[in-house]
Amino acid sequence: MRYFPGMNLGRVLIIAGSDSGGGAGIQADIKTVTALGGYAATAITAVTVQNTLGVTGVHAVPPAVVEAQARAVLDDIGADAVKTGMLGDTEMVERVAAILDTVRVPVVVDPVMVAKGGASLLSPGAVDAVRTLMIPHAAVLTPNAPEAEALSGLPVHTTDDLRRAGERLLALGAKAVLMKGGHVEGDTVVDVLMTPDGETSFEGERLDTRHTHGTGCTLASAVAAGLAQGLSLTEAVARAWAYVHEAMRQAPGFGAGHGPLDHGWPLRGKA
C-alpha cells in the first residue's frame, strides 16, 4: 500500500453514529483516519448498543446537538473533508444537509441503512431525504448493493447492475459514486468508481472470513482521509481499497459474530 511520503495531515470531520463494539461507526472512522495519517474530529449522531452479534439499542443524539458538535469543529479546527455515516431519520438528514450547505470541502456520503447484523439504522421515510438532500452534496457516494437498490430504485444483483444503479445515482447529483460489490456473489469482489468522465474498477479475491464488521464505514473514511490529504479521487479510493483488504486479512478474530477489522495494521508495519 502506498503512503505518499510528505502528505499533509488532512482534517476529516466525521458525522456518524457510535459503535460500542469498536468495529464500525465513529470508532472505525477515527481508527481509519488516524492509521492513514490524518486527523479525525467527530459529530456523533447516535449511540448504539452493539457488539459483533448485533445491535440491541439505538439512542439518537438531538439534531441540534449534532449541529453544535459540527459547528464547534468547523469554527475552530476546520476540515479538509467531511464524511457522513449513520444519520437515522429524516430530521437528522435535514440538519446534516444544512451543515453541508456551509462547507466547501469534499464530502464522502456513506448512506448507512442497515447494520452488518441486520438492524435498521435509517428509517424508511428517511431514504428519500438521503436521495434528495445528501446525494447532491457527495463528492463521492459509497453505497453497497442493498443501499444502491434503495436509492436508485433498480435491482442490484450483478456488477452490471451496480453500473446501471451508479448511472442513476450520478444523475441524482453525486459527483462520483463508488459502487461496492461485496454483496454481489462471486469469488472476486468488484467495486466500481464511476464519474461523469468514466469508471475505474477495483478487483480482489473475496476473503473467506466472518470478520467484515465495519468494512463500509472503514472504506468511506479511508477515502475521506485521502481526499483531505490532497490525493486525487482515484488515488484515494485505490489506497482505501488496499487498506481495507489488508485490515480484513489481518482481522484479530475478536467476537463470536461479524468480527472487526485490524484498523491499526499500518501502524505496526505488519503488511
Q: Is residue 3 one of the residues assigned to a domain?
A: no
Q: Is 214 assigned a catalytic role? A: yes
Q: Is residue 59 one of the residues assigned to a domain?
A: yes
Q: Is residue 173 one of the residues assigned to a domain?
A: yes
Confidence label for 8 from pLDDT (cuts 50, 70 and 90): confident
- Tell me how long the chain is: 271
Q: Is 217 assigned a catalytic role? A: yes
Residue 9: count of CB within 10 angstroms of its CB = 10
Q: Is 175 assigned a catalytic role? A: no
Residue among 31, 83, 116, 180 flagged as catalytic: 180
Residue among 212, 218, 226, 259 flagged as catalytic: 212
Nearest Cα neighbor of 127 from 107, 99, 142, 147 is 147
Span 143-150, average pLDDT: 93
Residue among 17, 85, 88, 216 flagged as catalytic: 216
Task: Note whether 85 and 25 are within 8 A (CB).
Answer: yes
| H or E, element range at 194 | strand 188-195
Q: Is 90 assigned a catalytic role? A: no
Q: What confidence tens digit (pLDDT) does each residue in 156-172 have?
A: 999 999 999 999 999 99
Domain that holds residue 138: 11-265
Residue among 38, 214, 226, 259 flagged as catalytic: 214
CATH number at residue 83: 3.40.1190.20
29 Cβ partners below 8 Å, 6+ apart? 12, 14, 16, 40, 42, 83, 85, 217, 218, 221
Least-confidence region, from 129-138, 185-194, 217-226: 185-194
Q: Is residue 141 one of the residues assigned to a domain?
A: yes
- Position of cell 450547505? 101
Joined together, the cell numbers standing for residue 9 give 495531515
Q: What confidence tens digit (pLDDT) does each residue in 25-61 have?
A: 999 999 999 999 999 999 999 999 999 999 999 999 9
Q: Is residue 2 one of the residues assigned to a domain?
A: no
Residue 253: count of CB within 10 angstroms of its CB = 11
Task: Give, in order, the Cα–Cα distances in Å from 232 to each of 51, 136, 229, 237.
Answer: 35, 20, 9, 9
Domain count, the chain: 1
Cα–Cα distance, 222 to 67 (Å, whole number):
23
Residue among 42, 116, 142, 217 flagged as catalytic: 217
Q: Is residue 100 one of the residues assigned to a domain?
A: yes
Residue among 32, 84, 215, 218 flagged as catalytic: 215
SS3 percent helix, strand, coil of the chain, rounded to 5, is 40, 25, 40
What is the reported pLDDT for 216? Answer: 95
Joined together, the cell numbers standing for residue 196 give 461523469
